[in-house]
């Protein structure tokens, strides 16, 4: 195995990333959080090269202060391979202690309405991500119980409605396929509330490093509803998720 002294995908100075990290998938959402929630945010540009494609893609990260506590917000990109790269480098090279993924999902349970929040108590996936990583051959990964409990307590303090249950992490964007076919293969004892694309990998990498990770999701669509959020509604609902994550990670 080759592990160099410097990260390959995160172009940041040692010490410029806080031990507490929020990870949205979208780089522009990271920028939005820094501009609207963090004080004195400094910007580092994270760049990866897409091989066989003659262009560069920016992965944005910002470090600032939330209520006087230093926090970094950094994008993960889409899918487990991208999340796996950035989470691994954050834990290995920058000694990050906690990561909360904040993302969107499709609700697959009728009790979860758009735009309510879900806290993942496990992530189920048919992916071989973990098996390839270190021969982990199970299909479920788990978040930090300690961090999850803090998030639940904080949601209660803020009077936020928070569903707590299992989610599924998929290799394919759910709305583009008949994902009922996939859902029907999931063990019935799991209480699947939403489907997304990154949490399984984040939990596995965090557990490998014996660090803490959790995932809060906003349901932005549902197989049981034709509700479509306006731009303002989507932003406001994401603001609730962002606030919950920030308030939780600083405790």
| Burial (0-12, 13-18, 19+ Cβ within 10 Å), 207 | middle
For the chain, the maximum distance between any two Cα atoms, rounded to a whole number of angstroms, is 50
Marked catalytic residue, from 137, 178, 180, 221: 221
Beta bridge partner(s), residue 131: none
44 is catalytic: no
Beta bridge partner(s), residue 205: none
What residues are labeled active site?
221
């Amino acid at each position: 195995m080759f592990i160099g002294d410097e990260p390959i995908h995160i172009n940041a100075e040692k010490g410029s990333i806080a031990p507490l990290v929020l990870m949205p998938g979208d780089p522009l959402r990271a920028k939005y959080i820094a501009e609207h929630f963090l004080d004195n945010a400094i910007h580092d540009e994270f760049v990866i090269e897409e091989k066989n494609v003659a262009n560069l893609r920016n992965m944005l990260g910002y470090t600032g202060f939330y209520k006087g506590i230093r926090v970094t917000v950094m994008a993960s990109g889409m899918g487990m391979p991208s999340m796996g790269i950035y989470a691994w480098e954050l834990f290995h090279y920058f000694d990050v202690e906690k990561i909360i993924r904040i993302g969107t999902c499709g609700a697959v349970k009728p009790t979860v309405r758009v735009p309510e929040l879900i806290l993942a108590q496990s992530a189920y996936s048919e992916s071989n991500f973990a098996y390839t990583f270190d021969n982990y051959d199970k299909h479920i990964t788990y978040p930090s119980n300690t961090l999850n409990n803090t998030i639940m307590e904080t949601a209660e303090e803020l009077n936020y409605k928070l569903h707590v249950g299992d989610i599924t992490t998929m290799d394919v964007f759910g709305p583009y396929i008949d994902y009922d076919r996939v859902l029907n293969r999931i063990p019935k004892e799991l209480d699947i509330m939403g489907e997304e694309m990154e949490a399984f990998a984040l939990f596995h990498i965090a557990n490998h490093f014996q660090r803490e990770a959790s995932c809060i999701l906003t349901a932005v669509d549902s197989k049981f509803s034709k509700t479509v959020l306006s731009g303002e509604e989507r932003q406001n609902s994401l603001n609730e998720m962002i606030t919950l994550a920030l308030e939780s990670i600083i405790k």
